C-alpha cells in the first residue's frame, strides 16, 4: 500500500486505520487500546504503521486498530497466539499470565523517572526480559514508554489516609491490587475502555494512570482532581507471536525489526514531553492538579513501598537492586 493510499485510508477512518492491503503483502494487524493523539503509544503505533506501509510497500502492510476497537488488553495476547492479530503493545502490567518478571515495573516507587526506566530496560537484565515468554508463544520486541503514574479520586487525595476505604480501578495486576490494599483502599481490576464509565457512575471512586491516559480518556472530567505522585510507571511491551515471527522471510523480519527499533528510539525520547503536554492540556481544560510537599509524598512512599517484599521472590532481589542503581 502506498503512502498516499495510507493517508487516504487514515483520513476516511479518523485514524483507526483500516488500510486495505494489496494481494501478496504480509498483513500485520496491530491492536491497542489508547487514543492516537497526544499519546506516546498512539503516536508510536501510527508512526510505525506509516513507515511500514511506505518502506515495505509490496512486501508488508500494517493496519493499526487503536482505542480497543479490535481487542482489549485481556483478549489481545490470546488473539496473537490464535494468529488473529500479529502485534500489540499492552502495558507491562498485563502480562501476568505469561511472566511474573514484569511485576518489577508495577512495584510502587521502583523508578524515580522515565530515564531510570529506560536505563533499566536497555540494560542486559531488561533486554533479557523480552524473551521471558517465548515458552508460552510470545516474543517481546521492544519496550515502549508511556510515563509516570498519578492518582485521582472523587475527593482530594493529599495523604494516604485520604484513599482509605475508596474503590480504585487498577489494571489486571496482582502488584497493583496489593498496592491499593496497602492504602486500605479497595482495588477493582477493570479493562481500560470501561474506566471512564465506571468513574462517571461511581462504580469506582478513583484511578491511577499517566497524564496522557488521564487526558486521552478524559478521566479528569469525572474526578475531583489529580495528585502528582509519580508513584509508579506505565510502559509497554511491543509483542508478537513466536510462530508468526519465525515464519517471516528473513528480509521482512530484518526490515521490520529495524523500522520498529528506529520508531522506538525516536518516540521513547519524546514520551516525557508528550505526557507533560497532556498534563498542561488537563490544566488548560480546567482540570485540578495537586502537588505534594516532600513530606506528604514521603507518607505515600512509606505506605506503598512495603509491597515490594511480597513480590521480591517473583521479580528477583538482584533485579530490584539493579533497577535501584539507575535511580542514582
Number of neighbouring beta carbons within 10 Å of residue 24: 8
Q: Does 234 bind ligand LMR (CB under 6 A)?
A: yes
Shorter beta-carbon distance to ligand LMR: residue 56 or 216: 216
Site membership for ligand LMR, residue 227 (CB under 6 A): no
Cβ 5 to ligand LMR shortest distance, Å: 28
Closest CB to ligand LMR among 109 and 144? 144
Closest CB to ligand LMR among 33 and 282?
33
The upper half-sphere exposure of residue 151, i.e. CA atoms within 13 Å in the direction of its Cβ, equals 27
35: contact with ligand LMR by CB under 6 A? no
The answer to whether the beta carbons of residues 116 and 260 sit under 8 Å apart is no
What's the grid cell of residue 280?
498542561
Least distance from C-beta 49 to ligand LMR, angstroms?
A: 17
Question: Which of 6, 34, 121, 319 touches ligand LMR (CB under 6 A)?
Answer: 34
Q: Between 234 and 304, name the residue whose CB sits nearer to ligand LMR.
A: 234
Distance between the two ends of the chain, CA-based, in angstroms? 47
The neighbour count for residue 18, using CB atoms within 10 Å, is: 12
Minimum gap (Å) between residue 192 Cβ and ligand LMR = 4
The binder of ligand LMR chosen from 132, 171, 173, 268 (CB under 6 A): 171
- Taking CB under 6 A as the binding criterion, the range among 33-41, 74-82, 224-232, 270-278 that sits at the site for ligand LMR is 33-41
Contact 45, 30 (CB under 8 A): yes
For residue 143, give the nearest of 207, 89, 86, 197 by alpha carbon: 89
Taking the complex as a whole, the smallest distance from the CB of residue 126 to ligand LMR amounts, in Å, to 19
Q: Please, which residue, 28 or 176, has the CB nearer to ligand LMR?
A: 176
CB atoms within 10 A of CB 251: 10
Binding mask 128-147 for ligand LMR (x = CB under 6 A): ------------------x-
Cell of 313: 521472590
Size of the site for ligand LMR (CB under 6 A): 10
CA–chain centroid gap for 207, Å, is: 15
Nearest to 180 by CA among 215, 220, 151: 151
Contact between 33 and ligand LMR by CB under 6 A: the answer reads yes
Chain centroid to Cα 36, Å, comes to 13
Residue in 177, 200, 199 with CA at minimum distance from that of residue 93: 177
Q: Any contact of residue 68 with ligand LMR (CB under 6 A)?
A: no
Bridge-partner residues for 234, per DSSP? 147
- In 3D space, the residue among 232, 218, 208, 212 whose CA is nearest the CA of residue 277 turns out to be 212
Of residues 33 and 157, the one with the C-beta less far from ligand LMR: 33
Q: Does 213 bind ligand LMR (CB under 6 A)?
A: yes
Contacts with ligand LMR by CB under 6 A lie at 33-34, 41, 91, 146, 171, 192, 209, 213, 234
Amino acid at each position: 500500500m502506498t503512502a498516499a493510499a495510507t493517508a487516504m485510508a487514515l483520513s476516511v477512518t479518523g485514524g483507526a486505520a483500516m488500510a486495505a492491503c494489496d494481494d501478496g503483502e504480509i498483513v500485520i494487524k496491530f491492536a491497542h487500546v489508547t487514543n492516537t493523539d497526544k499519546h506516546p503509544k498512539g503516536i508510536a503505533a501510527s508512526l510505525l504503521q506509516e513507515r511500514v506501509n511506505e518502506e515495505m510497500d509490496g512486501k508488508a502492510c500494517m493496519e493499526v486498530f487503536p482505542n480497543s476497537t479490535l481487542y482489549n488488553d485481556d483478549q489481545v495476547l490470546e488473539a496473537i497466539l490464535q494468529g488473529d492479530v500479529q502485534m500489540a503493545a499492552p502495558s507491562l502490567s498485563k502480562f501476568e499470565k505469561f511472566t511474573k518478571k514484569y511485576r518489577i515495573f508495577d512495584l510502587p516507587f521502583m523508578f524515580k523517572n522515565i530515564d531510570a526506566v529506560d536505563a533499566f530496560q536497555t540494560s542486559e537484565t531488561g533486554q533479557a526480559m523480552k524473551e521471558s515468554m517465548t515458552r508460552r508463544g510470545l516474543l517481546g520486541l521492544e519496550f515502549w514508554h508511556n510515563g509516570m503514574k498519578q492518582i485521582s479520586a472523587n475527593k482530594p487525595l493529599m495523604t494516604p489516609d485520604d484513599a482509605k476505604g475508596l474503590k480504585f480501578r487498577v489494571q489486571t495486576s496482582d502488584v497493583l491490587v496489593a498496592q491499593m490494599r496497602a492504602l486500605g483502599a479497595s482495588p477493582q481490576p477493570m479493562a481500560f475502555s470501561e474506566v471512564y464509565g465506571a468513574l462517571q457512575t461511581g462504580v469506582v471512586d478513583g484511578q491511577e494512570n499517566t497524564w496522557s491516559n488521564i487526558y486521552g480518556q478524559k478521566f479528569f472530567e469525572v474526578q475531583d482532581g489529580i495528585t502528582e505522585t509519580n508513584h509508579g510507571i506505565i510502559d509497554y511491551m511491543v509483542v508478537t507471536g513466536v510462530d508468526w515471527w519465525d515464519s517471516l522471510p528473513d528480509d521482512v523480519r530484518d526490515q521490520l525489526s529495524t523500522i520498529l527499533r528506529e520508531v522506538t528510539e525516536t518516540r521513547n525520547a519524546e514520551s516525557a514531553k508528550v505526557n507533560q503536554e497532556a498534563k498542561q492540556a488537563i490544566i488548560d481544560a480546567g482540570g485540578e492538579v495537586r502537588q505534594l510537599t516532600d513530606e506528604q509524598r514521603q507518607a505515600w512512599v512509606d505506605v506503598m513501598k512495603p509491597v515490594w517484599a511480597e513480590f521480591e521472590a517473583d521479580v528477583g532481589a538482584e533485579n530490584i537492586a539493579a533497577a535501584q542503581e539507575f535511580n542514582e
